[in-house]
Amino acid sequence: MNTKSYFFQSFAIVALAFVAFIGFKQILPDKIFSEGKVDSKNVLIDSLLLESVAKDSLSLDGDNIADKSGQEKIVYDASEGIEFPSETFDNYKGYQYLISFYEKLYQLEQNPQGHVRIAYYGDSMTDGDLIVQDVRMNYQEHFGGNGVGFVSIISESSASRGSVKTLFSKNWKIQSYLNVKKPTSPFGVNGHVFFANDKSNTTWVQYEAGLNKYSTSLDNPTLFYGRSAKKGNVNFIIGKDTLRKNLSPNNLVNSLKVTSGSIKSFKANFIHADSIPIFGFNFDNGIGVHVDNFSQRGNSGLPISMFDANVMQAFNNSLKYDLVILHYGTNVLNYGTKNYSWYQKGMTKTVNKIKESFPGVSILIVSTADKSTKYDLEMKTDSAVVPLMNAQKRYALDTESGFVNLYTLMGGDGSMVKWVDESPAKANKDYTHFNQRGAKAIGNLLYSQLNKGYEEYKILREKRDGSVKPKAIRKPKADSVSVKKDSVNE
């Protein structure tokens, strides 16, 4: 063997590899992988996001168009005789487009027996009811209401959620809008559909009230399920009692009340119900404000565009939503791009699907929070954060939705580093997600901005008609509150 020839061949390969690395380094992005430790449980990516990234040409250097329109003036047309002051794009909040929601809150203050409902769609930022539970508690503190709202049969955060405790058998069949385009049955309002498809073993779920304020009981538990050609049964075990009830899956969305009033826990055993789509249970006392958390790890928000509008309208006929919140962005920051026109276009489609599904509902867009990445050995705001936030603000404005700039609300440039470094810390070492302390702070900030808009609305309303400003009074929880009779919706 010619060792000298082998040596020179090896040397030539190494030299060429070094030259190639130097050449490619000039065109590679500043970062490819996050420097921080990432919790793999929180990193799931929806199929529509992957498709959008694959189809679109992502520019590493292109700026988002919204960056150049910061001083654009936004002037509102009066709605119901109320007109909020004009804004610039930089400071856009869009309270004008939340008027119908604010009016419902106003009427609730006038009549505490009324009801206001919010659907909060999010990603891993709201996993385990983080952020949402604090928004919920703020509203229930000021406007009344008891109950955690709609809860799925199963979620990734069931074990860590403090506002309600869930246990379940392992033989549930699950389909999610995150990765299934054509489900066996349409997805529910939570983006999931479940099947008790094990004929040999009982498929069950068990709920127990958590310790969160205003959610210490399961109020008027009601099962929601879909359409099927076959009927089934469910046994509800409450303490020492067992209630056997029939499932009649005749309509797109059906509801079955477990019991009236408040209980602490129950177990549901599904019998001969393998073909019936099961969505989840709702817990609320029928008055005040209720906030449903529809979080899904890895979600970009794009899968909502796959909702069946007829099914959503059937849910809405029963639950009656007044505000839909879309809180996304965490899973859209990892593609080395500053051009989010593709995401802006996709989320515009999502918002339009919400409008079709929940006619007349107010919509609020919550932007990405700050996220930090290591540049030159220093943790700084990721260069994609501001372009993404501006794209989110643009589709909020274009779709006439309210907007919360979470990035600036938490402090803007470099704020995630501060939240991580604070003592005690308010965010995790992945420099992306908030811990419970930080999530509570974010929930309070979100509520404060929404409530500021509401207070401004009341002033404008009083100027319009000279009405007396109502005083918010939280009514004590009743021992037992009746609910509407079981409903079925086409």
Neighbouring-strand partners of residue 204: 269
387: its two tokens: 């372009």
Q: Are residues 320 and 280 in the same domain?
A: no
Helix (H) or strand (E) segment spanning residue 378: strand 378-381
Q: Which of 263, 285, 307 is the last residue of a domain?
A: 285
- Say yes or no: 210 and 72 in one domain: no
Output the CA torsion sign for 341, 344, 350, 356. Answer: negative
Decide if 190 contacts 280 (C-beta within 8 A): yes
Q: Which of 243, 267, 285 is the last residue of a domain?
A: 285
Encoded amino acid at 410, one letter: M
Domain that holds residue 220: 151-285
Same domain for 423 and 300:
yes
- Give the rounded distance of the alpha carbon of 470 from its chain centre: 31
Domain final residue pick, 239, 269, 285: 285
pLDDT at 159: 79
- C-alpha 393: how far from chain center: 17
How confident is the model at residue 473, as a pLDDT?
52
φ and ψ of 150, to 5 deg? -80, 135
Q: Is residue 182 part of a domain?
A: yes
> Is there a single domain that holds both residue 362 and residue 279?
no
The C-alpha atoms of residue 133 and residue 144 are separated, in whole angstroms, by 15
Residues 162 and 114 placed together within one structural domain of the fold: no
Inside any domain, residue 16: no
Number of domains in the chain: 2
pLDDT in tens, the chain (490 residues): 454 455 455 555 545 555 444 444 443 444 433 333 333 333 345 556 656 655 654 444 444 444 556 789 999 999 999 999 999 999 999 999 999 999 999 999 999 999 999 999 999 999 999 999 999 999 999 999 999 999 999 987 787 798 999 999 999 999 999 989 889 999 999 999 999 988 889 999 999 999 999 999 999 999 999 999 999 999 999 999 999 999 999 999 999 999 999 999 999 999 999 999 999 999 999 999 999 999 999 999 999 999 999 999 999 999 999 999 999 999 898 766 789 999 999 999 999 999 999 999 999 999 999 999 999 989 999 999 999 999 999 999 999 999 999 999 999 999 999 999 999 999 999 999 999 999 999 999 999 999 999 999 999 999 998 755 555 555 544 443 333 334 444 4
Does a structural domain hold residue 372? yes
Can you tell me the distance from the alpha carbon of 57 to that of 210, in angstroms, rounded to the nearest whole number?
47
Q: What is the CATH number of the domain that holds 366?
A: 3.40.50.1110
Nearest-angstrom CA–CA distance, 480 and 287: 12
Global confidence as pTM: 0.85
